[in-house]
Every structure is written in structure tokens, then in C-alpha cells.
Structure 1
Amino acid sequence: MRKSLLISCLLSAFHFLSAQTPASYSIQKGEIITERIPYQDQYRFESFRKGTVLFAKGNTASSRLNYNYLYSEIQFIDVRGDTLSIAPEPLVRYVFIGDHAFYYHPDYDIYLEAVYESQVLSLLIYKRYQVFDRNTQMIKGYVDANKTFYENFVYEQDNRIIAESLYEFYNLPSLEDLRISYQENYFFVDKNIRFYPAVRSSLWKIFPQYRQSLRDFISKNKTNFSKEEDLKALILYCQQFLEQ
């Protein structure tokens, strides 16, 4: 089991750079997932970068950081050169890696990267790999709030526990043919740091008094909630609500 440690980061301006989208991979029985997927495709950035984490109480710390797609975690390199993970912690508010900002979502214990920021709403993206069996059914685990994320991940097939932790699952020979697929999902976050899936119903909750106006905009522009540029245009439209 890998070590976990909390570190922290200083709030700064948002700048966003594009990165190559990771591929999907077929895993044959007996292969080790972390050996099958190239190192550069396991991480958001090509190398660990200077970064900081900002806690809810305002205290900070710094280290070389990177975001891992397999574990959906922010990782850092300690003084001995070991790669460790920041423990899921509700007190974490933001993580900054270079010019990139990540919000910590305490309900899901995940990090969401900011891709567009405004006074009324910000657009975040959740990037990770998902595991599917050979029939393309997503493998599900469960999470018990009283245990760590690694301790909670269980993959069952035919009532057998194949791996007791996500770390073991990715680093032991696979017992089945699998597919690892890169996935993205968008979220909104409001000025009070409340998170919402980027779907229509979320807008009704955020702007109940402007529901009809939003419906008209979405219909007229044929807004696709899975397209980043469409969501940015929608947020730009919502800016007017600050002045009303």
C-alpha cells in the first residue's frame, strides 16, 4: 500500500493549456495494467511540476505534483524521490500544478480540473480511466466512508474478490481480459464552491428564476452538454444574470 500525505497550495490565476488525450487500452489476462499503459499516458502532465495545495483554512504547502488518470489522484514526489498520493481530505480546497487549477470535490473524493472560469460559474472537467470487462460492462467497486479509497475498491466476478485495493488491481496480473478507457465528464461550480454535473437540471437549480431564458438559449444554440466550447458559451451567456 502506498503512503499518503497531505500537502498544500496557493491560490493563483487560471491559465489552461491543452494536452494530448490518452488512448484506450486492451488488457490481456496476465498483463499488469501499469506496465501495459505507457507512463506518459498515466499522467496529466509529461513530468511532475511545481505546485501547491490550498486548504480551506488558508494554510498551504508546495511540492512537485502531477495528476494520475488511473487513480484520479494528485500525486507528489517526496524528498526521497518516492511517488506518493495526497490523501483525500475535505480540508483541501484547490490544487495548482503550474498554471493549471484543480478543485477538490469532497463528496466524491476526486479532483476536477478547471477549464473555464467566470464570476458566475466555472467549468470543470473530471478526467480518468475506467475499467471495463471484455463485454464492455463497467467494473464497479464500492466505497465505505469509514475506510480509505484503496481499502474500499473491490472487483468481484463470479463472487470472487480479485483485488482488495485499486493499487493492487492495477499492479497485479489481470485475471481477466479487460479494457481501460479514457473518460471525461464536465461539472459546474458556482461562486460558493458548490458542485453540479454539467447537465440542464443543474442549471435549473443554480438559476431557477432564469429557467425559461436558459431553455431558449439551449434550444436556439443546440447546446451539447458534452462539448466544452458549447458549455463555455453557455456560461458566458449566464454572465448577464449577475447584472439583473
Structure 2
Amino acid sequence: MLLILLLSVIRPVAFAQSAEPVYRIKDPGDISRIIPFKDRFQFDRFQDGKVHFRNGKVSAAKLNYSYVYAEIMFINPKKDTLLLADPDYIHFVTLADRVYYYLKGHGHIEQIARFGRLGLGKKTFYMNMGNERYAAYGQYSSTSAISSYSSFINQDGMIQFLKGNNKVVMKKHAAYFFMDRNERFLIASRQNLLKTNSSHKKAINQYFKQHNPDFEEEADLKKLLEFCSML
């Protein structure tokens, strides 16, 4: 039986590549009104999926991945949209042809590829790209640099309420992780890759010199892990 965290309000989102839209949100209640469903969730509808618990039990439910929460959500018999409670007791979630693992402090990570010893995980979520402060005549002016990134979700996994008349600039962002055979996750970085391939540092460093992979580009990471799998 699924344990649930009673949260009856769906929180929305927007994506973070250059071609993706940017949303300006003043209050969490505005999210579902301003951001369309297709930008709040990975799939265009909630669909059949399974929650696999660490004790071997499996529960079926209508599931979807929320970009706002960076977690899997489900619909209960009362048609409420809810987060899974006690995610530490869940081994993994299957939805469509995808698999998601829970990483404390990061939400659900989708495994998007596997290359021998290492897998590649991806977390897509909305980030706070800075604030815009209310100005005269209903106009908004930028007051913080785009470089000051912070998650729009607070440490308790809840939507952070905004104060006063400020608006938060939200944009979808993808973060990548390495996943070892024991389902342990490390943020995708040069240091962590060398840590997991300590006996092949020379070859990997040579690869970096030749290709200079971008750790925020999925295609670069897949090529890098494919190279490492052949060492």
C-alpha cells in the first residue's frame, strides 16, 4: 500500500534549455495557472506505473514525474495529485519504459543509460534563476544575476513561498549523475568520474584533453561513459 504525503495542489514548471520558456511566478498558487501541464510534468498524462519497495512489494498506480518537485507523483482514488511518502523505503519506480531511483536531497533520478560499471542518471527540475522586483506602473526589473542559481524547492521539498511583490524567474534545468552497480549516485563531474575509474586515470585525462566534454551536455556524457566502459 502506498504511503502518501497529503499535498493536494499540483506545483508547475518550465524547462531550461535556451529554446525553452522562462516563467515568472509571484505566488505558488499561480504555477498551475501560468505553466501548462506539459511543462509541469514529463508525460502528457498520468499513466500506469509501478512502485517497487525494498521489502519486495510492488504497488501499481497512475504516475507522472513532476518537474516542479523533481519527484514522481501519483493520483489517488479521490483524484488528488500526491507525492509518495517515505521514499527511502522505495527501491525504484517504473513508468512507461523508464526507471527512477530516489536520491535523498535530490528527488527522483531517471536512469537514462548504462555503460558497463556506470549508469547515467538525469534529474530535470525548475530552478530559481533570480528575482525580479516590482517597479512603478506594474513593471518588473531584474535585481539579481542569472548566475545566482538556487532551487525553487526548499530543503523540506516544498514550494518556497515568495515575499512581497517580488517574482521568481523559473527555468527548467537538467542535472546529471553517475550511478554505480550498487545504485550509489555521484554528481557528474571530472573528479567523480576519476574516483570511480581510479585505475584508468591516465586514459581518461587524455580523453579530456582531446574532447573537453561538457558535464551539462547529455550527448557528451554518453560518449564519455562509453569510452570508459571500453577501458
If the length of structure 2 is used for normalisation, what is the TM-score?
Answer: 0.77
Is 1:4 the counterpart of 2:5? The answer is yes
Counterpart contact for 2:69–2:107, Cα < 8 Å = no
Structure 1 stretches lacking a partner, 5+ long = 6-20, 144-148, 151-164
Aligned to 2:225: 235
Aligned to 2:10: none
For residues 176 and 182 of structure 1, do their structure 2 counterparts lie closer, same or farther at Cα, with a shift above 3 Å needed? same
Map Cα deviations across residues 13-40 of structure 1 (whole Å, 9 max, x no partner). xxxxxxxx85221235898223111122
Map Cα deviations across residues 155-204 of structure 1 (whole Å, 9 max, x no partner). xxxxxxxxxx52x738xx97412211111111010111111111100012
**In 2, Cα distance between equivalents of 1:199 and 1:53:** 30
More strand per residue: 2
**In 2, Cα distance between equivalents of 1:174 and 1:62:** 42
Alignment equivalent of 2:100, drawn from 84, 99, 102:
102
Is 1:125 the counterpart of 2:115? The answer is no
Counterpart contact for 1:33–1:174, Cα < 8 Å = no
Aligned to 1:197: 187
Task: State the AA in 1 paired with 2:78.
Answer: R
For residues 203 and 115 of structure 1, do their structure 2 counterparts lie closer, same or farther at Cα, with a shift above 3 Å needed? same
Counterpart contact for 1:88–1:109, Cα < 8 Å = no
For residues 222 and 42 of structure 1, do their structure 2 counterparts lie closer, same or farther at Cα, with a shift above 3 Å needed? same
For residues 139 and 227 of structure 1, do their structure 2 counterparts lie closer, same or farther at Cα, with a shift above 3 Å needed? closer
Alignment equivalent of 2:198, drawn from 202, 205, 208:
208
Alignment equivalent of 1:56, drawn from 54, 57, 67:
54
User: Aligned pairs, how many?
Assistant: 201
Percent of pairs with identical residues: 26
For residues 83 and 192 of structure 1, do their structure 2 counterparts lie closer, same or farther at Cα, with a shift above 3 Å needed? same
Counterpart contact for 1:43–1:66, Cα < 8 Å = yes
Counterpart contact for 1:203–1:211, Cα < 8 Å = no
Q: Please report how far the alpha carbon of residue 142 of structure 1 lies from its aligned counterpart in structure 2 after TM superposition.
A: 5.5
**In 2, Cα distance between equivalents of 1:197 and 1:219:** 21
Q: Please report how far the alpha carbon of residue 88 of structure 1 lies from its aligned counterpart in structure 2 after TM superposition.
A: 4.4
Aligned to 2:140: none
Aligned to 1:217: 207
Q: Which moved more, 1:109-118 or 1:198-207?
A: 109-118
Q: Please report how far the alpha carbon of residue 124 of structure 1 lies from its aligned counterpart in structure 2 after TM superposition.
A: 0.8
Aligned to 2:16: none
Task: State the AA in 2 paired with 1:74.
Answer: I
Is 1:80 the counterpart of 2:70? The answer is no
Q: Please report how far the alpha carbon of residue 109 of structure 1 lies from its aligned counterpart in structure 2 after TM superposition.
A: 4.6
**In 2, Cα distance between equivalents of 1:38 and 1:196:** 32
Q: Please report how far the alpha carbon of residue 217 of structure 1 lies from its aligned counterpart in structure 2 after TM superposition.
A: 1.5
Counterpart contact for 1:31–1:174, Cα < 8 Å = no
Task: State the AA in 1 paired with 2:189.
Answer: V
If the length of structure 1 is used for normalisation, what is the TM-score?
Answer: 0.73
Aligned to 1:14: none
**In 2, Cα distance between equivalents of 1:98 and 1:174:** 41
Q: CA RMSD in A?
A: 2.6
Counterpart contact for 2:27–2:161, Cα < 8 Å = no
For residues 64 and 123 of structure 1, do their structure 2 counterparts lie closer, same or farther at Cα, with a shift above 3 Å needed? same
